[in-house]
A and B are shown apart, each in its own frame.
Chain A
Amino acid sequence: MTRRDGWCSERDASGRRRPPPRAGAGRLARPGGPAHDAAPVPASPTTSPRPHSGLWLAVALTAGVLAVAGAIAFSTALGPQPVSLRAALAGVDPDASIVLGLRLPRAIVAAMVGAALAAAGAALQALLRNPLAEPFVLGVSGGAALGGSTVLVVAAFAARLGAGSGWLLGAPPVALGAVAGAAASTFLVFGLGRVGGRLVPEAALLVGIVFNAFVAGVITLMKMLVPPEQASRLLYWLLGAVGYETLGTIAMGAVLMLLAVGTLVALSARLNVLTLADDEAASLGVDVPRSRALVFFAASAATGAAVALAGMVGFVGLIVPHLVRGVLGPDHRRLVPASALFGGAFLVLADALARLAFLPLGTEPPVGAVTAFLGGPFFLWLLRKQGRGDAR
């Protein structure tokens, strides 16, 4: 090994302040260094910073936006009734009411839900340091569904008692219930998923799956306690369906989702460091407990918003971040925004598939069924891949 420059301190041996090394500067041999062999090390060949890192992000985001837009356009254009886009834009009924009143809002809701779930999935995978983590599998969606359903049931009871609390059936309290439920289940799963004080991803996943089963049971029970309209709504929540929501609901969901996903994007650089061991992250300057709590809460809020709008849609947070990571790499500054965008596109297409594939039969399965159909095998494949990786 040849001698190396002791560049690392800000002051050199005589106490004078040394200027920080400039990118691209060659390494100068320092007099008085350890007197060993041969010539000084030539300047490192890759002295320019990786130029395409920012370019990657721009490309990924552009592709993502195009994907979402394309998916929404696709979903809006197709359906049981043929419509003409020109007529719809001109305001001619029934085209306008179908396209602008039904299909477009539904596609937008699907995009928002997909984006929220995918971003939350990417964040949870970083926190758990495990690619199998995602809101549905970890029981966060379950908790959100439970929270929202509870609000619905309480409202139904109150209405029956004549307490005139019809407002409780509206979107905001339900959404708040969902977010609260998501946060509570996050605490539960991450609290119970510890072995000897340390968070063990496998244990957390197990608790999550069991918790989901528990939630399914409770919601089924609740279904019997409420009037039929609410019952079918609860059922759709359990299965995960994107319905036709009012503009107010969509707006509220959008605000909540943007806040939550925005927080996750802002924290994405921190997420990179959080994938390291706690001690390492702390020694690099990250306040680990605080950052973790922030990410948990943002992921819970995103999941809560998604569930409030569409019920327990699963596996989006598993499939999309995994595929995006395969292309863009694990840097969360790219992964989180790209996952959000492609997650939105993914769910819009899944919803379109749900609507159209069963058209001949005249029914429409909930989109949660489609994602579970795709996601279940994907999860198993991922599990096997991991197992093979560990056995290496």
Chain B
Amino acid sequence: MDVEDASFSYGRTPALRGVSFRARPGEFVGLVGPNGAGKSTLVRLVAGLAAPSAGRVRLAGLDPRGAPRREMARVCALVPQEPRIAWPFTVREVVMMGRTARQGLLAVASRLDLGAVEGALAACELGALADRRLDALSGGERRRVFFARALAQEPRVLLLDEPTAFLDLAHQVAVMRMARVAAVGGLCVVAVLHDLNLAGAACDRLVVMDGGRVVAEGPPAEVLTAERVEAIWGVPVWRGENARSGAPVVLPSVTGPGGSPAGYSRK
């Protein structure tokens, strides 16, 4: 994908200012930054759910806003942050909905569709849960279902909006591993992440945003320095390194000196 100098505002509040961003297939890119930095907005622009007020967005050669939704859905899959469940569909039915863009009006499942759904279910280890109803699953299991739905779309780009939110550690790791596997499999994976350590451990490249701009970009070890984290997030941290993998480890100090006691002090 290719974002050039894009800007976007919610009403009069600018959310993105001149953001340029590139991601290639096979990359797992982590979008990190404080709340309100514009990460989710950027993801929405790339997914075609909003149009930039300035600049250009291209996804696999398509204009996400201008291209027909069917075409976009075959190329780009979005796993939203808090998907809503209105009706008690089963896991398999939900994952099959991922094939909508490749089916006709009556959505008769072809062999390709069935195969893709089975593959997605297996990739997300949902085989045992396939016929369970969605409201009978835990939050972590549901997140895997929506991940599987995105995989069933057979996209080239996978967008994850805070995929680890509200999940326990095991499920967080599971999601990150699935995202890594997807990237290794040739997808371009972009995830909005809040956990810097997970991002540092799993992502090939990090893009740090603050105040609607990209302030840093590069491999996690380079990007996540103590000075930068303290400057952007306003929290004093101890920065170390995972000796085995080389991934940066960032640990905030909660009880130690520095930082305002009531909360974060941000520049």
B-binding residues in A (CB < 8 A) = 1, 3-13, 20-25, 27, 32-34, 41, 43-47, 49-50, 126, 129-130, 266-267, 269-270, 272-273, 275-277, 279-280, 282-288, 329-331, 333
Contact = CB atoms under 8 A, between A and B. Distances in A.
A276 B84 contact: yes
Counting from the closest, the 9 A-B pairs by CB-CB distance are A6-B185, A285-B73, A285-B101, A44-B127, A269-B107, A9-B186, A330-B87, A21-B119, A129-B86
Contacts of B130: 44, 46
Contacts of A20: 112, 115-116, 119, 154
Given A1-B174, A266-B105, A282-B49, A46 B181 contact: no
A288 B100 CA distance: 13
Interface stretch (B89-97, B226-234, B247-255): B89-97
Nearest to B47: A283
Contacts of A50: 92, 131
B122 A8 contact: no
Contacts of B121: 44, 46
Interface in B118-133: 118-123, 125-128, 130-131
B111 A23 contact: yes
A286 B103 CA distance: 11
Contact of B89 (A267, A286, A330): A330
Given A21-B115, A285-B100, A7 B89 contact: no
A280 B127 contact: no
A273 B98 CA distance: 9
27 contacts: A4-B122, A8-B151, A8-B182, A9-B186, A10-B154, A21-B119, A23-B115, A33-B184, A34-B181, A44-B130, A47-B118, A49-B118, A50-B92, A129-B87, A269-B107, A270-B107, A275-B86, A276-B97, A279-B80, A282-B48, A282-B69, A283-B72, A284-B73, A285-B69, A287-B69, A330-B89, A333-B106
B77 to A, nearest CB: 7
Contacts of B44: 279
Contacts of A129: 84, 86-87
Interface string B163-200: 00000000001100110111011110000000000000
A272 B70 CA distance: 16
Nearest to A44: B127
Contacts of B73: 283-285
B41 interface: no
B66 interface: no
Given A7-B119, A46-B127, A12 B185 contact: yes
Nearest to A290: B69
Interface string B50-68: 0000000000000000001
B136 interface: no
Contacts of A8: 119-120, 123, 151, 154-155, 182, 185-187
A9 to B, nearest CB: 4
Given A23-B115, A126-B87, 12 more contacts: A8-B187, A32-B184, A46-B121, A46-B130, A49-B118, A50-B131, A269-B107, A272-B107, A273-B100, A275-B87, A280-B84, A329-B90
Chain A CB count within 10 A is highest, among B80, B89, B119, B151, for B119
B78 interface: yes
Interface residues of B, number: 69
Given A12-B185, A272-B93, A330-B88, A280 B80 contact: yes
A18 to B, nearest CB: 9
B83 A276 contact: yes
A4 B93 contact: no
Given A9-B187, A23-B115, A277-B84, A284 B100 contact: yes
B245 to A, nearest CB: 11
A22 B115 contact: yes
Given A21-B118, A283-B49, A270 B184 contact: no
Given A283-B76, A283-B78, A43 B122 contact: yes
Contact of B180 (A25, A34, A275, A283): A34
Contacts of B48: 282
Contacts of B69: 282, 285-288
A4 B125 contact: yes
Given A4-B123, A45-B127, A272-B89, A277 B178 contact: no
Contact of A34 (B86, B87, B184): B184
Contacts of A44: 118, 121-122, 126-127, 130
Nearest to B153: A284
Contacts of A46: 121, 127-128, 130-131
Given A43-B122, A331-B93, A280 B83 contact: yes
Contacts of B115: 20-23, 25
B47 A41 contact: no
B105 A12 contact: no
A205 to B, nearest CB: 15
Contacts of B77: 283
B39 interface: no
Chain A CB count within 10 A is highest, among B122, B154, B156, B180, for B122
Nearest to B120: A8
A276 B78 CA distance: 13
Interface string B136-157: 0000000000000101011110
Nearest to A45: B127
Contact of B125 (A1, A287, A331): A1
B102 to A, nearest CB: 8
A130 B86 CA distance: 8
Contacts of A6: 123, 181-182, 184-186
B114 interface: yes
A279 B43 CA distance: 12
Nearest to B159: A283
A268 to B, nearest CB: 8
A46 B90 CA distance: 14
A192 B89 CA distance: 30
Chain B CB count within 10 A is highest, among A7, A12, A22, A34, for A7
